[in-house]
Amino acid sequence: QVQLQESGPGLVKPSGTLSLTCAVSGDSISSNNWWSWVRQPPGKGLEWIGEAYHGGSANYSPSLKSRVTISVDKSKNQFSLKLTSVTAADTAVYYCARIYCSDISCFKFDYWGQGALVTVSS
Amino acid sequence: QTVVTQEPSLTVSPGGTVTLTCASSTGAVTSGHYPNWFQQKPGQAPRALIHNTNNKHSWTPARFSGSLLGGKAALTLSGVQPEDEAEYYCLLYYGGAYVFGTGTKVTVL
């Protein structure tokens, strides 16, 4: 059974950097899958942040691209999110998710973490 | 900026059928957008229901089905159960980036 678990500070100061980690169990971070971050502001909808592959490739939402980095740590079987220059608008529940890739195609979001609330406030 | 639009809310009777749609501001939704559908209940993480337009996950109840309908992605719930009351989101792929739909609140009444 694949499981993902987010962790990181629940409070970040404005203009600071938001950093979260997603620990993966039941699958190797070096498998042929992509690893993604999604967020949800309180009372609002879901927003895709980006994705990364263990080989070093990454893709980001155009609206966040200038501030976000997603990286994979093969030694710890986890992946991370960094979001710089945060404001109150970045307050949200942050989810990590796996994008499963078969021999034929990817694009299959399947397993999700339970989410981590990050509040941006002084 | 690409916008993916869903019905804000739909109401269905227990045992009834309801279809949710997912429209793209760039034009018709095709299989090349690899539509995914998710269910989210209050206080919970999203749960994957459908991937690649019409493929169920191993845990997806048989009453959920995905399709393309009139230039949109669609999610049909047949024989609706009270536990299907939730928010539903679609997700479309745009060549290197994904965009979530605005979400549909389904009420079972």
Alpha carbon distance A83, A68 (integer Å): 5
Using an 8 Å Cβ cutoff, are B88 and B104 in contact? yes
Q: Is B103 on the interface with A (CB under 8 A)?
A: yes
Chain-chain contact of A59 with B96 (C-beta, under 8 angstroms): yes
Q: What is the pLDDT of residues B48-107, one digit of tens each?
A: 999 999 999 999 999 999 999 999 999 999 999 999 999 999 999 999 999 999 999 999
Rounded distance between C-alpha atoms, residue A42 and residue A6, angstroms:
18
Residues in A lying within 8 Å of B, measured between beta carbons: 36, 38, 45-48, 51, 59-63, 95, 105, 107-115
CB atoms A59 and B97 under 8 Å = yes
Q: How far is CA B92 from CA A6, A15, B97, B101, in A?
A: 24, 31, 9, 8
Per-residue pLDDT, A104 = 82
Place of tokens 């299907």: B84
A chain contacts of residue B102, beta-carbon cutoff 8 Å: 45
Q: Which of B36, B38, B61 is nearest to B51 (CA)?
A: B36
Residues 6+ apart with CB under 8 A from A16: A86, A120
CB B59 within 8 Å of CB B4: no
Distance CA A108, CA A92 (A): 24
Q: Give the gap in angstroms from C-alpha A114 to the nearest C-alpha of chain B.
A: 5
| Digit-coded pLDDT (tens) for A38-87 | 999 999 999 999 999 998 899 999 999 999 999 999 999 999 999 999 99
